[in-house]
Structure 1
Amino acid sequence: MTSIAVAGLLVGSALGVPTAYADPAAAAKTIATGFTAEDGSRITDVEYIDDRNIRLQVYSAAMAESFPVEIQLAADNSKPQPSLYLLNGAGGGVDGASWQAQSDVREFMADKNANLILPIGGMFSYYTDWIKDDPILGRNKWKTYLTEELPPLIDAALETNGVNAIAGISTSATTVLALPIAKPGLYKAAAAYSGCPQVSDPVGSRFMKLAVAWGGGNPDNMWGPAGSPDWVANDPYLQAEKLRGIDLYLSSGNGLPGEHDTLDGPHTPPGPGGLANQILVGGVIEAATNYCMHNLQTKLTSIGVPATYNFTSGTHSWGYWQDDLKQSWPVLARGMGVS
């Protein structure tokens, strides 16, 4: 996307933008709005939750639709700070399987000098650009949204320093490696937790197709039949050389029960059935991502691209992803220049 066109140096209610406060006196920073990109993408609404937390509505010109973005401002928001984009999994943050609902991410980031950006939407889309609209999942141009539309709007509204990192789980753990390749320089660090970045591999492509189909979508509407050029172009394993210079953190469990796979644990669905599902289904999924992540480790090592790895016991579940976010923070902070 080309540069942001300033529609007006206006803020808050002076724009006629509805605002809401849990405590109006607590709003310590008014977010600059009134910025419209040349393609028409724009912030259409801002809701002030408290002095640190804000919810935006962002119109995507590529998808002709508005999507929520939840933001927690940096601890010191009196000066420009970097931003950490944190992506949800297959549910896109719309369901209960989200960072907001399943982790302590807000508490963890409360003392960090980085803006926390939580995009919402894109269920079962893999946060990529689809070649066709889907009858069930609609129009998906998430790569455009997350590289061309949203970051410039966030930078303008929050007056950031323009430095970004990105992290994601499960399906979006593929995306957070693909987006820095698609837009060099946009994301300085990337952390991928329990994903399959080897998407052109028969195991990886099968994994992706099953995830899309689970959401009712037609996988061929994403990149065409497996093996088509777009599958190759969006494969972080095949494009691994383009990850050079990015601070990387890659993790996966081995699919076997670990410390967070306990009956009625804080990160386990309730009851014996919930635990069984996490161990059986979550174990199979994590074993597949473990295969992909180890293959990427081998590829990166062979071409001399450094990364931090964390391979442990465990299933495809939130306890491990919450741990991973904290363990990857030094890598993400280094990329963003946060001490």
Structure 2
Amino acid sequence: MSFVKGLKHVAATVTALATAAGLLTVGAGVASAGPRDWLRPDATGTCEWDAAGHWVQRCDVWSPATGKNISVQIQPAARGGNAGLYLLDGLRATDISSAWLVDTNAAAKFVNNNITLIMPVGGESSFYTDWETPATYDLKDPVTYKWETFLTKELPVYLEQNFGVARNNNSVAGLSMGGTAAMNLAAHHRDQFRQVLSFSGYLTTTLPGMQTMVRAALLDAGGFNVNAMYGSIFSPRRFQNDPFLNMGNLRGADIYVSAASGTAGPGEAGRGAGLLAGGAVLEVFSNASTKLWALKAKASGLQITEDYLPVGQHNWALFSTQLDRAHDRILDVMNAW
């Protein structure tokens, strides 16, 4: 642990102890800690205070499906509520931290709210799904991806037991790859997710050309083999995991989709030409995919909310703005103010 991180850890612990000492159980005279004032148990003993600050804990959760611990960054609900918000990362997710806490501080955005933030760490190029075979071409050091099993069967048990998150009172949101995954997870597990939000996701993954686009993206982001995800291009699982084809399963859920035009906004002027061009192309594709998905969804009778920003490229300036714009809606639907 670095000196700075150590200081943060000590400061957070002292604050938690001081807060706990000030909360007395009525009539008993016994100190009682609030929902954010203590570190929960995890697979290594206890969680740790995360460097992101606020009330974020970093917890290692054992995953039998993958045979290892998976780190999850969690901010408990402010007043002990049982609602949960899963925030899924983009294609280049790292094993260091969820980008929701690095490139925009989601914890700060919900610091006063009665909803538990759940931010899994890792999952680069995974689409947060269960892969058929090891995900990379390097079979000497295989990467086992069973994200759907972890997020819908293993993690909910841990969250219920240690953070009081109900298994049937959750929202799931994601950006880009995570937006695609959020739609699929909500469609497959309606008993878990009452609300789903896609920020610049790709929602038509089996239409002509999309397979080639995903293959190139996965090779570029870590050398992942798209055929290892669902099998061959004709595999039924590939179609079962296309939001454009499984949207009927979302009936009754609160659905929010958002994308921007791909035009650079005022805050993006300093980005290099390559980043500007790449951000524009990715967002234009997302915009078209999202609008096509929304057109079919409305024709199918789904009640959806669309939010298309006039400027914005496929980067964290946009994703942060999208979360800000959806913030109140999340809390209204989840009754988590």
Give the Å deviation of 1:161: 3.9
Q: Aligned in 2, Cα 1:307/1:120: closer, same or farther, shift over 3 Å?
A: same
Partner residue, 1:144:
149
How does 1:302-321 map onto structure 2 within 5 Å? 302-312=299-309, 313-321=311-319
Partner residue, 1:337:
335
Work out whether residues 189 and 331 of structure 1, in 8 Å CA contact, stay in contact via their aligned partners in 2: no
The alignment yields a C-alpha RMSD, in angstroms, of 2.1
Work out whether residues 87 and 168 of structure 1, in 8 Å CA contact, stay in contact via their aligned partners in 2: yes
1:30 lines up with 2:28 in the alignment: no
SS at 1:238's partner residue? Answer: helix
> What amino acid sits opposite 2:327 in the alignment?
W
Partner residue, 2:239:
232
How does 1:1-339 map onto structure 2 within 5 Å? 21-27=10-16, 28=33, 29-33=37-41, 45-49=46-50, 52-76=55-79, 79-94=80-95, 98-134=99-135, 135-136=137-138, 138-162=143-167, 163-214=169-220, 215-263=222-270, 274-312=271-309, 313-339=311-337
- TM-score of the aligned structures, taking structure 2 as reference length: 0.83
Work out whether residues 278 and 317 of structure 1, in 8 Å CA contact, stay in contact via their aligned partners in 2: no
Give the Å deviation of 1:290: 1.1
Give the Å deviation of 1:310: 1.1
Work out whether residues 91 and 98 of structure 1, in 8 Å CA contact, stay in contact via their aligned partners in 2: no
SS at 2:267's partner residue? Answer: coil
- The superposition leaves residues 273-314 of structure 1 with CA deviations (integer Å, 9 ceiling, x where unpaired) of x43123101111111111110111101110110111111222
Give the Å deviation of 1:230: 0.9
Give the Å deviation of 1:124: 1.1
- Give the Cα separation in 1 of the matches to 2:335 and 2:312: 31
- Give the Cα separation in 1 of the matches to 2:197 and 2:94: 18
- Give the Cα separation in 2 of the matches to 1:256 and 1:226: 33
- Give the Cα separation in 2 of the matches to 1:161 and 1:46: 20
- Give the Cα separation in 2 of the matches to 1:97 and 1:262: 26
Partner residue, 1:3:
none
- 55-64 or 308-317: bigger deviation: 308-317
Q: Which ranges of structure 2 fall in alignment gaps of 5 or more residues?
A: 1-8, 17-32
Partner residue, 1:270:
none
- TM-score of the aligned structures, taking structure 1 as reference length: 0.83
SS at 2:243's partner residue? Answer: coil
> What amino acid sits opposite 1:286 in the alignment?
E
- 42-51 or 162-171: bigger deviation: 42-51
- Give the Cα separation in 2 of the matches to 1:97 and 1:30: 22
Q: How many residues align?
A: 301
- The superposition leaves residues 211-264 of structure 1 with CA deviations (integer Å, 9 ceiling, x where unpaired) of 22112011100012223211111111101111111111101112222233221x
Work out whether residues 165 and 336 of structure 1, in 8 Å CA contact, stay in contact via their aligned partners in 2: yes
- Give the Cα separation in 1 of the matches to 2:46 and 2:239: 38
Q: Aligned in 2, Cα 1:287/1:122: closer, same or farther, shift over 3 Å?
A: same
